Structure formats: C-alpha cells, structure tokens
Structure 1
Amino acid sequence: MSKEKEVLLNEEIRASELRCVGDGGEVFGVLSRDEALKLAQNKGLDLVLIAPDAKPPVAKIMDFGKFRYQQEKKQKEAKKKQKVIDIKEIKLSVKIAQNDINYKVKHALEFLEQGKHVKFRVFLKGREMANPEAGVALLEKIWKDIEDKASRDKEPNFEGRYVNMLVVPKRG
C-alpha cells in the first residue's frame, strides 16, 4: 500500500456502523455507513476513517484534499529543518609514511572546518590482520594531530579488514 492509500475514504469504508466526528470537533454519534456518507456529501466533504480498530470505528467528516495538503506542508517543513550530515572517509594503510599522514591530516582538518564528519579507515592486508593494534596505534597518532579541532564520536574499533575511527568537529 502506498502512503496516500493508508487512509480509507467514503465508499472504501466497509464498516456497517461508524462513530462520526465533524471537522470542527462536533460529534454526530454512532451512524450507519450510508447515513454518514449522506451527511458528508450534504456538507460537500469526505468521510475519512481515522480509527479503524475502535469499537465502533471512528470516521471524521472533513475536506480530505485540504487535510492531505496540510500534511504534505508539515512534512516539507520538517524536512527543511533536518540537518544532513556529510561523512568524509579517509583511507590509510599501516605502512603509510609520515608525510602522507600529514597530507591526510591536512585534508581531514579542512573537512572538519567545513563542519563535516571524518571517518578514518586503516585497511589491513595479509599478515597485518594478525596485528590490528598497529592500525589502532596509527589512528591514535593521527588523533594527536587533530584533537584540538575535533572530538571523537567513535573510538578506534576493529571491523573486518578495517580499523575505523569517526571524528566530528568540535562545538563552538
């Protein structure tokens, strides 16, 4: 079922009796489905099933087009307020040279200044898998260079062939 079809309207409602409520909060009581439909049509509105599990099911007489428009508007507003987090990934090797580390750290600092999260991944090849502490040591070495600009979100941890560490920009 699509999101628009989660709500049953007018003739789609199969319950024989419904507790009807108006859009303004007025209560019409328990009516048969046909009476509720006539009442909604006389007002030029839709009969919308809002609580199908209740005994008897609850239906609301309202302008469904207007209701759907307001729901979409709320969703768009909520989406605007969401913050998208960019995660930049920096891959390293255990046998990386110091000047390469400096270069990678420089890029990481640029990403952190832009407000992006940075994930460091140390790839372990072959025999390096027997000693994952070397990857952790490398990440600790990198951490010393960036700790004044960042805070750790995740400590260095071992996942498969990688040792990962996630850092985020410091607040303020």
Structure 2
Amino acid sequence: MINEQIRDKEIRLIGENGEQLGIFPVKEALAMAKEAEMDLVKIAPQAKPPVCRIIDYGKYKYELTRKEKEAKKKQKTIEIKEVRLSPNIDTNDLMTKSNMARKFIDKGDKVKVTLRFRGREMAHVANSRHILDDFAENLSDIAVVEKAPKMEGRSMTMYLVEKK
C-alpha cells in the first residue's frame, strides 16, 4: 500500500535515510512524504502499529525485482536423468550404463534407473532386483539411493542422488 491507500490511524514512520522517526498519524506522515517529494509505503502491515517508510516507490519496486532476479540466478535446478536397463543386461553393458549415470551425478543431476520388463520377463521380476542393487553398488562411492527399487507397472524404478 502506498500514500492514500493506507487506512490506519497511526503508523510507525521510518525516514528516507532509514532512521526511526516515531509514531505519527497518517495525515502527518503523508505531509512529510510529500514535502520530501517521495512516497509513503507500508512495509510491515502486520506490525502494531503498521510500519511505513518514506521512499521513492518506483526505486523501491525496481530494487525488489532486482533482488528477486539475483535470488533466481543463485538457485540450482536439479534435473532428473533416466537410465534404462533390461533384465538380461550383460555386465559390460551395465558398467557402460553406470558410467553414464556417474557423469549425470557428477553434474549434480538426479538419476532415475528404470529396469523394464517385457513379455515373459515379468515372470522373473524377483530374480532381477539384483541388477538394480549391483547398479547402486557400482555408484556407491559418489551416490546414494534416494528411493529404493519399486515396481510400477511393467518397470522397476530406483532414484540415485549425489552423496553429501
């Protein structure tokens, strides 16, 4: 809320340089803001009495958007990369896939390991869990299992994340 939008009787006023001016009626605070050719902006509406500040509103909005952009730049997005395996995978192929997953984890991404069953392979689901266990074992030096292997339809999935 700015200027005439403020409907409170009394407010705690902060000056343009950040100094505490005290508690004033809104009309008096508005007059002080107009005298300084600035705006009266409500900063903390939940406080008793509400806190208002004499500042240039356009500059204030610009600073807020700039801070939000800076915060967004510092955020790190984590992608989920998928590695697909089959129950009759050979050890060399498993090592190749685990090296791919190692690269993904080094970049800071999560890895979803999917073991897909097709046709008659569904009869040997219990015997195939060791493939995912071996995969996690190969990457145990840099990754931990975030979500244990779990059957979802015709596939068994497991999630790996970087060790802290």
Q: Which residue of 2 aligns with 1:158?
A: 150
3-state SS of 2:150 partner: strand
Matched residue type, 1:52: P
Q: Matched residue of 2:137: which SS? A: helix
Q: Which deviates further from its counterpart, 103-112 or 125-134?
A: 125-134
The residue type equivalent to 2:51 in the other structure is V
Provide the TM-score with structure 1 as the length reference. 0.72
| C-alpha distance in 2 between matches for 1:91 and 1:100 | 11
SS at match of 2:49: coil
3-state SS in 2 of match to 1:38: helix
1:9-20 counterparts in 2 under 5 A?
9-20=2-13
**Structure 2 residue corresponding to 1:96, chosen from 88, 92, 96:** 88
Letter in 2 for 1:10: N
Match of 1:34 among 20, 27, 31: 27
Asked whether the 8 Å contact 2:85–2:115 carries over to 1, the reply is yes
The separation in 2 between residues aligned to 1:126 and 1:35, in whole angstroms, is: 81
Q: How does 1:1-172 map to 2 (within 5 A)?
A: 8-23=1-16, 24-31=18-25, 33-93=26-86, 95-98=87-90, 100-123=93-116, 133-148=126-141, 150-158=142-150, 160-161=152-153, 162-169=155-162
TM-score by length of 2: 0.74
3-state SS in 2 of match to 1:121: strand
Number of residue equivalences? 161
Indicate the percent of aligned positions where both proteins have the same amino acid.
38
Deviation at 1:40, TM superposition (A): 0.8
Aligned partner of residue 32 in structure 2, secondary structure: helix
Q: Which moved more, 1:12-21 or 1:96-105?
A: 96-105
Counterpart secondary structure, 1:30 = strand
1:61 is displaced (CA, Å) by: 1.3
C-alpha separation in 1, matches of 2:28 and 2:58: 22
Contact kept? 1:10, 1:37, Cα under 8 Å:
yes
